[in-house]
Amino acid sequence: MKTSTILATALLASAMTVDATQIEPTAVAKLNSASEAQVIEWRRHLHQHPELSNREFETSVYIAKQMKALGLTVETGIAHTGVVAVLEGSLPGPTIALRADMDALPVTEQVDLPFASKATSEFRGQKVGVMHACGHDTHVAMLMGTAKNLVALKSQLPGKVVFIFQPAEEGAPEGEEGGAALMLKQGLFEKHQPVAVFGQHVTSTLPAGVIGYRSGPAMASADRFKITVHGKQTHGSRPWGGVDPIVVSSQIVMAVQTIASRQVDVTKAPSVISFGVIDGGIRNNIIPDSVELIGTIRNFDMGIREQIHEKLEHTAKLVAESAGAKAEVTIFKGYPVTVNNKSLTDFVVERFNTVAGKDNVREMGLITGAEDFSYYAQEVPGFFYFLGVTPAEQNPLTAPSNHSPRFYVDESALTVGTQTMTQLAVDYLQQHH
C-alpha cells in the first residue's frame, strides 16, 4: 500500500470531529440555487462545443477562464489539455480533490435541442460527428458550479480544494498517453497531496435527481486483448492439407468461456470475457493462414484480473497447439477496478440524504463499465457516484443510454449534483480539520 494511501486512510479513521454546523446545509442550498442558471449556461455552451479526447483545446481555455474569474489559482496544460484550479480556504485543514472529465465522443447528435452539437472532427482517419454523449459537459458545469459555491464560502472554509478538469477519460488516441493516469504521472497528487478524492457521473439508468452509489468495488476493470491464430492455408475441399485457424479460433472462443465460469472464484467477484471481433478469410473455399480475435475482459477484483490474464493466454496457446496451430496473445491493460472507500461511503451517503432526500438515494449493483477515476482512488481514498438525468416521464430502463446519439439530460438534475458535491466538500473539510 502506498504511503499516501496509508496516511489518508488513517486520517479518515482518526480525524478529530469538530462542529460541522458552521456552514449550514441551508446556506449551501441557498448559494446553490443562485448558481443554478449559471451551471445550465455553462453546460449548454460545453454541449454545443464538444471536443474529442486529448483535443479539448477550446474546452480547456473556457474552463480556465471561468475558474480565473472566480479568483482561483489555475494550472493548465496538464496531461495535454487538463485544467486544475485550487481554492485555499481561510482556515487550516486538509486538501481534497474533486474531479470532472471533459472529453466528448465520436457520435453524431440526434437530439433536437437549440444547443445541439453540430461539431465534427477526425477519428481514426474518418470524419465524425462529435457529441457529449456521456454527459461530461454536465460534469464540468457542475464542478464549476461547485467551485463558485465554495468560493462564496471561502471565509468559513478550512483546508484546500483541488478542482480537477480531466481530459481523455474515454481513452487517449492510439499511440498517446492521457487521462487520469497521465495527470498522476505528471505529479498532480504529489504536488497537492489530497487526502480524499470525489467524482460523480450522470447516468440514464436513474431518474433525474436520483443518486446512486455503491461501497467497495463499484465499476469493473476493462482490458482489451488480441489473439492471432496462425494456421496453414489450404483449399477448402482439402482441410487435411493445412491447419484451419477458423476452427481453432472457434475452439478458443468456447474454451475461454470456461475461465470465468470454471477457473476463477465466482463467489468472490464476477467477471466477463467477450469477443467482439473474429476476422479471417476472404473466400468460401479458401482456408486462410490466420485469424484475429479481439475482445474485452471485465472484472471486479484486481487479483482475479491477473489470474484471468494468465489463464486466457494459457488456454489460447494450448488449444491452438493441440490442433497444430499457434496462438499469439496480447493483453492491453485498461482501467483498473473503481473501488469506493467504505469510510467515505458512510460519510457521503449522509450528505446524499440531506440534499436529495432518502427516497432519492439508491444503492446500485455492480457496473461492468469502467472509469479512469479508478487511478485516483488507487492513490488516496476515493468515492465515485452516479446522478440520474432521465426525465420523469421516461423509463430509465429504456431511455437512450450514455454514448447513444439520443442521450438526453434533464437539466433539473444538475442543481442536485452541484449541491451534493458542494455539501460533501464543505462537510468533509469541516469534520476533518
Q: Are strands 91-101 and 158-166 parallel, antiparallel or unpaired?
A: parallel
pLDDT tens digit sequence for 215-251: 999 999 999 999 999 999 999 999 999 999 999 999 9
Distance CA 46, CA 143 (A): 13
Q: Residue 8 pLDDT > 60, yes or no?
A: no
Question: What is the dihedral angle through the alpha carbons of 389, 391, 396, 400, rounded to the nearest 10 degrees?
Answer: -80
Residue with cell 469506493: 340
pLDDT at 162 over 50: yes
For 200, the 3-state DSSP assignment is strand
pLDDT number for residue 13 = 46
Catalytic residue among 177, 292, 313, 411: 411
Q: How many residues does the chain have?
A: 433
Q: How confident is the model at residue 9 (pLDDT cuts 50, 70, 90)?
A: low
Residue 371 to residue 353: CA distance in whole angstroms: 25
Catalytic site includes residue 335: yes
User: How large a percentage of the chain has pLDDT more than 90?
Assistant: 95
Segment 382-411 mean pLDDT: 98
pLDDT at 166 over 50: yes
pLDDT above 50 (res 290): yes
One-letter amino acid of 353: N
10 pLDDT higher than 80: no
194 HSE (CA, 13 A, CB side): 29
The answer on pLDDT for 346 being more than 50 is yes
CA atoms within 13 A on the CB side of 259: 26
Distance CA 151, CA 145 (A): 10
pLDDT at 3: 47
Q: What is the pLDDT of residue 2?
A: 57
Distance CA 368, CA 218 (A): 9
Strand partners, 197: 97, 382
121 in Cβ contact with 55 (< 8 Å): yes
CB-CB neighbours of 201 under 10 Å: 24
Nearest to residue 169, comparing CAs of 126, 219, 205, 122?
219
Identify the band that residue 338 occupies on the pLDDT scale cut at 50, 70 and 90.
very high
Q: What is the pLDDT of residue 21?
A: 46
On whether the CB atoms of residues 106 and 52 are closer than 8 A, the answer is yes
Mean pLDDT of 255-283: 97
pLDDT tier, 5 (very low <50, low <70, confident <90, very high otherwise): low
The pLDDT of 124-130, averaged and rounded, is: 96
pLDDT the model gives residue 22: 85
Residue 7 has pLDDT above 70, yes or no: no
Q: With pLDDT > 70 as the criterion, what percentage of the chain qualifies?
A: 95
Instruction: Give the pLDDT band of residue 108 (cuts 50, 70, 90).
Output: very high
Contacts of 38 (CB under 8 A, 6+ apart): 145, 148
Written in H, E and C, the secondary structure of 260-320 is HHHHCCCCCCCEEEEEEEEECCCCCCEECCEEEEEEEEEECCHHHHHHHHHHHHHHHHHHH
Q: What is the bridge-based pairing of β-strands 234-235 and 382-390?
A: unpaired
Closest CA to 293 of 315, 314, 274: 274
d(CA 153, CA 31): 9
The CA-CA-CA angle for residues 397, 422, 432, to 5°, reads 120
> How does residue 309 score in pLDDT terms, banded at 50, 70 and 90?
very high
CA angle 318, 321, 324 (to 5 degrees): 160
Q: Please provide residue 21's backbone torsions phi and psi, each rounded to the nearest 5 degrees.
A: -100, 5
Judged against a pLDDT cut of 60, whether residue 15 lies above it is answered with: no
Which of 6-20, 132-146, 365-379 has the least mean pLDDT?
A: 6-20
Q: Find the catalytic residue in 169, 170, 213, 335.
A: 335
Cell of 64: 480556465
Q: Quick check: is 350 catalytic?
A: no
